[in-house]
Amino acid sequence: MVRLLSVLLTVFIAVDGHKILVYSPKFGHSHSNYMGRFADVLTEAGHDVTTIINVIDHSVKDGTKLSKIIRVQPSAATIELNRGMATTKKDMFTMNNFNPIGAYFMGQFFGKLFAAQCTALLEEPGLVEKLTTEKFDVLFTENFDMCGVGLSHVIKPKSFIPVAASGAFGPQLEEFGLPVALSYDPALYVSHMNVHSMWDRIVNIYADWLVRLSFNPMRYYVHDVYKKKYGADFPTMDQISSNSAFVFTNTEPLIDYALPSISKVIPIGGIGASEPKQLSEDWVKILTKRDKTVLLSFGSVLKSAYLPIEVKTSIIETVKALPHVTFIWKYEEDDEFTKNIASKVANLDLTKWMPQVDILAHPRLSVFITHGGMGSTQETALRGVPGIFIPIFGDQPRNAGMMEHNRLGKVLDKTDVKNSAKFIAVLKEVLEDDSYRTNARKVSAMLYKRPFTAREQLIKYTEFAAEFGPSKALRPQSHDMNWIEYNNLDIIFAALVVTLIAVLITLKLVKITFIKFFCAAKSKKE
């Protein structure tokens, strides 16, 4: 009887559920995990979910564990372009994010990489035709690798929902219809911004230009792929994105900057956060060695082994300067540094892997030193742990800045990490100033008591889009305006012309009046 009910329930869910397609490029861990979370949450909610995994980097995990998978293998061109990624990762810590030459070449590289693998997807025998005949209710894709955006126009699902694995930035603002507020919205590469400083606002405008210099080619190259296959009149990526049903961003308003938005943009920050589990006895022993414990991790992209030796040395000096604190450092490799130096520090525990979520939830964890990825910042806030944020690249500087802005920790510039005196001073401030801990716990309580969870929002808005499709009412008219119209420059120009004409007429009248008065006075005198 139980088995029969289970079968009937499965049939009911399959009939009632919607057909959903998730486009997920296998490129970066955070991106893959984010899109995989979409697929798994919606599968658990009873929907028929298929994930296209467009493989760029085999070392990245699939992300999804529950949805059906269509896998597109990397082309020869993709493999060749991807060979240089390992060297790039090693250079990230020393790379200057404000270097326009680096930004330009990064955009060119990733534009060509995504275009190469997008070509592989479109040339996969029978794939596009199969996806078209499936008649999906909703297609999800991140506006990062834009191949999924173009695909939505080709296979025409009932609703298309673009997503951002961070807050919307650069070209995404126009694609989503969001206001550009550079006077107070920090660009991706900005972690400190005084809105009252003219210089800081100039830097922010420059940083936004750099972001666009990096990300615009990723759009142009992929657009060229679609134009080559489907004709020169294939719509641009921002034109396609403008007709979306909703937009999901990986942001949490309670830890972000307060910014203008529109109704179709739904923040679902923390969708990838998992509930902590009980720690093993070995981890509990480490966390209870001393009254305070500091966790240190630079994420999945930049391994600690890649750090410059002066940075590693500074970290060791910082650890030694605080012998009453236990440090847990995620260091992924056994090398000469770990064997000869790090392993000899009494209050330092090295680990190649750690249950980060579970450790963050332990009451003895005092501070989390992290690179400031969106997942790490959200987990830090959710668990009520103050942080020290050392942003390396991408959206990390802005993520770190918003955490400091909300007094959830401090930002330490990556160029200052090699200065152990600065590192120690920042760490002591966060460890010893109880206001950071108090504020972190308050924000954590607020996040747990939100009226609607990220999961609930994802499911409900997806089901709404699947049933009704996009609404014209949610599409801002700014999508149909050019730059001059959007900024009212035509009105300003017309006002200036009218004002100039009025001034000239006034001057002319004054001149005529003066001449008449002068002539009349002269005649009277004569």
On the question of pLDDT at 52 being above 60, the answer is: yes
Say if residue 377 is in the same domain as residue 498.
no
- Report the pLDDT averaged over residues 29-57: 94
Last residue of a domain, one of 448, 466, 501: 448
Segment 78-103, tens digit of pLDDT:
998 887 665 666 667 778 889 999 89
Say if residue 421 is in the same domain as residue 517.
no
Question: Domain for residue 200, yes or no?
Answer: no
For 86, the token pair is: 């390992």
In this structure, the chain runs to a length of 526
Question: What is the per-residue pLDDT for 298?
Answer: 87
Question: What is the per-residue pLDDT for 6?
Answer: 40
Alpha carbon distance 466, 157 (integer Å): 9
Say if residue 110 is in the same domain as residue 223.
yes
Question: Domain for residue 3, yes or no?
Answer: no
Say if residue 136 is in the same domain as residue 225.
yes
Say if residue 100 is in the same domain as residue 249.
yes
Question: Domain for residue 338, yes or no?
Answer: yes
Segment 4-42, tens digit of pLDDT:
344 334 434 444 699 999 999 998 888 999 999 999 999
Segment 471-484, tens digit of pLDDT:
999 999 999 999 89
Question: Domain for residue 7, yes or no?
Answer: no
Packing angle of the helix pair 29-44, 374-382 (nearest 10 deg): 60
Task: Say if residue 519 is exposed, middle or buried (CB neighbours under 10 Å; 0-12, 13-18, 19+).
Answer: exposed
Answer yes or no: are the C-beta atoms of 50 and 148 closer than 8 Å: no
Question: Domain for residue 391, yes or no?
Answer: yes
For 507, the token pair is: 């001057």
Alpha carbon distance 334, 332 (integer Å): 7
Segment 277-333, tens digit of pLDDT:
999 999 999 999 999 999 999 877 778 888 889 999 999 999 999 999 999 999 988
Say if residue 98 is in the same domain as residue 165.
yes
Say if residue 298 is in the same domain as residue 434.
yes
Say if residue 104 is in the same domain as residue 60.
yes
Question: What is the per-residue pLDDT for 525?
Answer: 63
Which amino acid, residue 119? T
Give the pLDDT band (50/70/90) at residue 134. very high
Question: Domain for residue 111, yes or no?
Answer: yes
Question: Domain for residue 127, yes or no?
Answer: yes
For 412, the token pair is: 């330490």
Answer yes or no: are the C-beta atoms of 317 and 427 closer than 8 Å: no
Q: Choose among 154, 313, 152, 335: nearest CA to 247.
A: 152
CA–centroid distance for 330 within its chain: 23
Q: What is the mean pLDDT of the chain?
A: 91
Question: What is the per-residue pLDDT for 85?
Answer: 67
Give the pLDDT band (50/70/90) at residue 511. confident
CATH number where 42 lies = 3.40.50.2000
Q: Strand 325-330 relative to strand 292-297: parallel, antiparallel, unpaired?
A: parallel
Last residue of a domain, one of 400, 433, 448: 448
Question: Domain for residue 440, yes or no?
Answer: yes
Answer yes or no: are the C-beta atoms of 227 and 239 closer than 8 Å: no
Say if residue 360 is in the same domain as residue 342.
yes
pTM score, whole prediction: 0.89
Question: What is the per-residue pLDDT for 97?
Answer: 87
Q: Choose among 238, 228, 35: nearest CA to 122.
A: 228
Segment 193-250, tens digit of pLDDT:
999 999 999 999 999 999 999 999 999 999 999 999 999 999 999 999 999 999 999 9
Say if residue 380 is in the same domain as residue 458.
no
Say if residue 170 is in the same domain as residue 287.
no
Domain that holds residue 402: 281-448
Say if residue 467 is in the same domain as residue 388.
no
On the question of pLDDT at 65 being above 50, the answer is: yes
Segment 382-408, tens digit of pLDDT:
999 999 999 998 899 999 999 999 999
Answer yes or no: are the C-beta atoms of 70 and 129 closer than 8 Å: no
- Domain total for the chain? 3
